[in-house]
Structure 1
Amino acid sequence: MFQKILIANRGEIALRVLRACKELGIQTVVVHSTADADAMHVRLADESVCIGPPPSRDSYLNIHQIVAACEITGADAVHPGYGFLSENAKFSDILAAHNITFIGPSGDHIRIMGDKIEAKRTAKRLGIPVVPGSDGAVTEEKEARRIAAEIGYPVIIKASAGGGGRGMKVAHTEADLEIALQTARSEAGAAFGDDAVYIEKYLEKPRHIEVQVFGDGFGGGVHFGERDCSLQRRHQKVWEEANSPALNAEERSRIGGICAKAIADLGYSGAGTIEFLYENGEFYFIEMNTRLQVEHPVTEAITGIDLVHEQIRVASGGGLSVKQEDIKFNGHAIECRINAEDPRTFTPSPGTITHFHTPGGLGIRVDSGVYSGYKIPPYYDSLIGKLIVHGRNRVECMMRLRRALDEFVVDGIKTTLPLFRDLVGNADIANGDYDIHWLEKYLAKGE
């Protein structure tokens, strides 16, 4: 087991990883920018190292500074959390060259799954169902028209190197295709430095279903069930739940088994999430994230298994603590992402939190690194906390969530709490009857 882990992240995920390390008896080091000197994870860590000014490129994305912090403090492993360098193959390779363990998959697996075109080819080879579309990058309009005609309109054009909705355009007719292709390539080049795009069939009313997988690094793999992440705005997840209200036990077992076998065949090590669009009983692969997800607590709630503990165990060479038959699913869990944003426009709302009170009671978990008097800096992601609620079934979980949201108080800034208070009273949400377009339509109507 590792002696000292450096946490190369900030906010609630840095605190989440720090707590797991303390439970395992591992010393912790955190790095931080000057803007985060008073952050909770900095206060609680055994050691901290300031690695630069507020801009991420000068601090949390500065690989050389992070490696130097490892060498100064004697850290023998790095946990990257999510975002920042968590899916950076170069970072993984550099750490390996310095005999520092990257708590995540190999650089090769990060590269494969970080390229959306290669990821789709790999998924297809591993027996994972994929969305009909191009086999590789599309550069010519003539080729795009041919592929679109074969798979049928509407089609969606996506950036090969991208995510988060950037470099993504929908063409409903052939007349739309030219401008959609040009716009997607331009956005992809500007956002990711790579204008390669590919084409897929556009599903009209799909759900976003993802399967939590783990590889042991020795050719074994398991799944921890699925999560439904269909409530999104601008392709960003807002509300996640497990299990999905759209799946039955047979579908859940089938897709879980496919993903576990694929991850084993790939020889993957650590946590990963295989993401799908789901429509009319069929799953279609969209991407794989080679890291811990923001929404991992809902999986922990229904399985009782600490996924960060598993990450650390696997990275240290200890393999998984459970076999597939040991993983049991209990009840229902929902996570709400609490952002420092206007609940209607989603405009960021940095500033000082004057009062912060979290809910409590059975089945309530809050992951957050903020506190009363904390000043939210304007430089980073607006996520300030996650409310995770667990119940014996979805009805109990929804009632408990309603109660928890009523207790949650964040004063001094705007947050998305009012949005969630609206959602728990909506009939569609109560019935689990929503798709990936539902929330944006709801917000557009001003309900």
Structure 2
Amino acid sequence: MADAEGQVLADRYRLVSLLGRGGMGAVWRARDEQLGREVAVKELRLPEQLDDAARRTWIARLDREARAAAGLRHPGIVTVHDRVAGDDGRPWIVMELVRGRSLDDLLKAEGRLPPARVAQIGLHLLDALRAAHQAGITHRDIKPANVLLEDDRVVLTDFGIAAVEGDATLTGTGAVLGTPAYMSPEQVRGEEVTAAADLWSLGATLYTAVEGRPPFEGAGTGAVFIAIATQDPTPPVHAGPLEPVLRTLLDRTPSRRPTPDRLHTQLTAVAQGRPPEQPTLVQPPVPQPPQRPARTRKVKKAAFIALAAVAATLTLTVATGWVVNEFQGWQGNRRYEANMDTVGGLGTIPGSSTELTRTYKDTVEVDSTLCEDTSAPGCNLQAQVDTVLTWFRTRNGVRSVLLQPPTEEPNTYPSRSLTVLTEGSPKITEVIVYDNEHTDKIMLSFTVG
């Protein structure tokens, strides 16, 4: 690769010196001899022993990077000037030369950074990501090595594995694209990657900057993947006021990560030396079944098992029971996370004062106030039922919504129940709109899982 020094691409770009190497190639300092300016040129590195089809895939991947980055105009995103081909047909990307070092290099040289400075870096990266996401692009490989620092400017680079909305997937089966320590849980699980995954990787990058190490470490890639998919990150000890921001960014459930607007408010507070606004929704560590005034719920009786065992087998029984309980708890958490993902995929729920509650069997229950004053025009049961019907019918993944006939039950509030059929699993198992006569409000309640 060093032999390329002095090479001229497209009769215009002369390679001057190697700036660095990455997973998908090398970056050179070069001179644009037509415009008389310095530029950065990215050279595609092709793995050895590629057949023709695999070679075309890797070249198409770099072409996609060029298209993705070239369509973005933002001071926090590296500017792409050109795309040229070498003598061997490999594409090269010509970019602006950012005269600074990466966040990774800075951390290696100076160690961890103070929370306020990390928050400022996070604000710049968030603004860049907003521009990319609005253009339908997810980066998918945010990490300290892809963050360049030039004076007060923070630049996000290397869109080499970016997913462009509407593009066909270019990755092969089993290919791992991304840097393991900064990949989101959904990337690790092979699920759809959305803008929320970039926010998770942003959180992992900021965690590394303030702690001096990644949030998840292991003896190998497999160990890191397992930790990301099943564990919470090691609590940071140097993050100070940034700690609650990192905690929510690194939530394994995408729908529970902060919105860009909320994250911007929180990072601004930390950058200015103020504590960030705390989330309004905190899941209780010990879930309790909610009280439902609107309907009669079936009460499931707990089963009591009398255990008789000889002393010789007591230790084995206790150990086995602990393993079973731990496994059941892990299964329950996976179900709960899947249920929360379903709620998040529905978008903004009608009404206000929405509460999400984790209940027994790890289901998620949603309560929302549809309207506050039943004496106001339109604040009646039927009108709000129609609103909820329309909302569910426009949700992605909802196959059908049926309004059940009204039923008269003693000691219950006036209500209407809906049957919602969804694609896949988990299911929306119960939906009810009811007139809470004690507070003169119309309420919405539904259960997932």
Which TM-score applies when normalising by structure 2? 0.25
Instruction: State which structure, 1 or 2, has the greater radius of gyration over its C-alpha atoms.
Output: 2
Which TM-score applies when normalising by structure 1? 0.26
Between 1 and 2, higher relative CO (CA 8 Å, sep ≥ 6) is seen in 1
